[in-house]
Structure 1
Amino acid sequence: MKVRIAYLEEPPFYWTGEDHSATGADIELAEVVLRAIGVTSIEHQLTSFEELLPGVQEGRWDMNVPIFVTAERAERVAFSVPVWALGDGFLLRQGNPKALTSYGAVAARTDARLGIVAGTVQLDSAKSAGVSNGQIVAFKGQTEAIDALLAGKIDAYASTAVGSRVLASANQELEVVAHETSKDGRAPVGAFSFSKGNPELLQAVNEQLRKYLGSADHRARMAKFGLTQTELDSVSAT
């Protein structure tokens, strides 16, 4: 049994390692789960964020690495049970010269430029907080956004707080600001996604995820990549 899974260049969740193979927290989670349901061959397909949903819908691959679950996306693909819950954060140049600590802080400064990967939930969050279209610079992927940040073309890059922490720890020129949690204390959840025409794979993955999420092995594997109890506990009982 062979499964093709698409991924992006977004450490610590998924990226291409020095040996040119896919690696990361969610790549490892997929490996454990797929092997447990009898998959003998796993093929990784690097793609862009904008191609993730069309690619799995059209059958170019069988599943996607976890992304945030939204009602709009759920109309196009079938999501697994959630595998993490992540709050947003900004990646900034060291010193945070414009004091950007939230989407609202960006909206309050007309000279602030916010980098976002096109099509991500961070775009909706920014606009909901009043960030104008003229302040938003959209990128195809994380690498381009970080290059623009380092070059001074944008003032902040909006992503997940945990992802930003990992990136900042690898570059002394950068720092991270985690956003405050919502009033209800809940962070948006992420999940694997599948074609709606492939319910058998979705069901098998879900059954295994329910057994595995929250286990000692799961927590240890995720901790290697910087994911803590905060990101895992709210979904491990799903």
Structure 2
Amino acid sequence: MRFAFLQEPPFCFTDASGALRGCDAVLAEKVCETLGLDGFSAIEAGFAGLLPGLAANRWDMTTGLFISDERKKLVDFTRPIWMLPDGLLVAKGNPRGFAGYRSVAMDQTGMIGVISGQIQHPTALRNGIPAERIRTFGIQAEAAEAVAAGVVHAYASVAMAHRGYLAGRPDAPLAVIDVPAEEKQPAAGAFALAKGNASMRQRIDTCLDELLGGSWHRHMMREYGFSEGDIDRLL
């Protein structure tokens, strides 16, 4: 199985030795092993190329992505593998007092960063942030560095992704603010597969049904910073 991933801890990342780590990567490899699929190989990609790469047969499955009606027109999704809330990455001490998307909208000079193509962009717009105050970036590290440099004042993504980023950079002058549920409910993410292979999707779903919430899965997720509540939310 060819697995496309992003450098986005704690979901997927390469460690100092070059080995692939992260909860999505480990889960994907476990599914591959359990189902007896051809050897697992990981391919690093940019976010914008994940779904086109499936359509072009450059890989067989992607790291977890938020499920949306728009994306479902392009690819098939497995059953959810996590359900997580958004968060804002801000300067340490939160000098602008942000509490979520709407507080950024109320700050007349507040700039927010998002990753191009991710659902945080339309979420920011729905919560009143003008398009001209939203800046798009290609990868997580670029957006986080823009917050540290004051180029933008917040970066919107999954709160757990922000915490994963900071776990590897304890000295970074950054902090995470959880987005309130009234602005954005926790959303489900799943592996994406190319359309036209329902039997494979069903096999993967059956395997996930057996793995998720079990002792192996809980132990693995805890290693990457997930709480029991994070795990139980998707069951």
Query: Which of the five TM-score ranges fits, normalised by the shorter chain?
Result: over 0.9
Name the CA distance, whole Å, in 2 between partners of 1:201 and 1:21. 27
Q: Structure 2 vs 1, CA of residues 14 and 229 (structure 1 numbering), >3 Å: closer, same or farther?
A: same
1:85–1:235 Cα contact (<8 Å) kept: yes
Q: Structure 2 vs 1, CA of residues 40 and 195 (structure 1 numbering), >3 Å: closer, same or farther?
A: closer
1:52 aligns with 2:53: no
Name the CA distance, whole Å, in 2 between partners of 1:123 and 1:85. 18
Partner residue in 1 for 2:129: 131
Partner residue in 2 for 1:11: 9
Letter of the 1:132 counterpart? P
2:8–2:165 Cα contact (<8 Å) kept: no
What secondary structure is seen at the aligned counterpart in 2 of 1:226? coil
**Structure 1: which 5+ residue stretches go unaligned?**
none
1:86-127 per-position Cα deviation (integer Å, ceiling 9, x unaligned): 100011111111111111001101211101001111111100
> Identity rate of aligned residues, in percent?
33
Partner residue in 2 for 1:89: 87
1:86–1:187 Cα contact (<8 Å) kept: yes
What secondary structure is seen at the aligned counterpart in 1 of 2:191? strand
Instruction: Report the TM-score, using the length of structure 2 for normalisation.
Output: 0.95
Moved over 4 A (4+): none
Partner residue in 1 for 2:207: 208
What secondary structure is seen at the aligned counterpart in 2 of 1:189? strand
Farther-moved stretch of structure 1 (167-176 vs 66-75): 167-176
RMSD: 1.5
1:144 corresponds, among 122, 142, 145, to 142
Aligned length: 233
Write the mapping of 1:20-31 to structure 2, written as runs, cut at 5 A: 20-31=18-29
CA deviation after TM superposition for structure 1 residue 234, in Å: 2.3
Name the CA distance, whole Å, in 2 between partners of 1:182 and 1:202. 33
1:77–1:193 Cα contact (<8 Å) kept: yes
Name the CA distance, whole Å, in 2 between partners of 1:204 and 1:153. 46
1:110–1:135 Cα contact (<8 Å) kept: no
Q: Structure 2 vs 1, CA of residues 186 and 91 (structure 1 numbering), >3 Å: closer, same or farther?
A: closer
What secondary structure is seen at the aligned counterpart in 1 of 2:192? strand
Partner residue in 1 for 2:228: 229
Instruction: Report the TM-score, using the length of structure 1 for normalisation.
Output: 0.94
**Structure 2: which 5+ residue stretches go unaligned?**
none
1:131-176 per-position Cα deviation (integer Å, ceiling 9, x unaligned): 0111111001101111111111111111111222233343331111
Partner residue in 1 for 2:103: 105
1:80 corresponds, among 78, 81, 87, to 78
Letter of the 1:164 counterpart? H
Farther-moved stretch of structure 1 (162-171 vs 145-154): 162-171
CA deviation after TM superposition for structure 1 residue 40, in Å: 4.3
CA deviation after TM superposition for structure 1 residue 20, in Å: 1.7
Name the CA distance, whole Å, in 1 between partners of 2:185 and 2:132. 30
1:91–1:168 Cα contact (<8 Å) kept: no
Partner residue in 2 for 1:175: 175
Q: Structure 2 vs 1, CA of residues 93 and 186 (structure 1 numbering), >3 Å: closer, same or farther?
A: closer
CA deviation after TM superposition for structure 1 residue 186, in Å: 5.0
CA deviation after TM superposition for structure 1 residue 229, in Å: 2.1
Name the CA distance, whole Å, in 2 between partners of 1:95 and 1:212. 39
Partner residue in 2 for 1:190: 189
Name the CA distance, whole Å, in 2 between partners of 1:228 and 1:220. 10
CA deviation after TM superposition for structure 1 residue 216, in Å: 1.1
Write the mapping of 1:110-121 to structure 2, written as runs, cut at 5 A: 110-121=108-119
Name the CA distance, whole Å, in 2 between partners of 1:59 and 1:166. 30
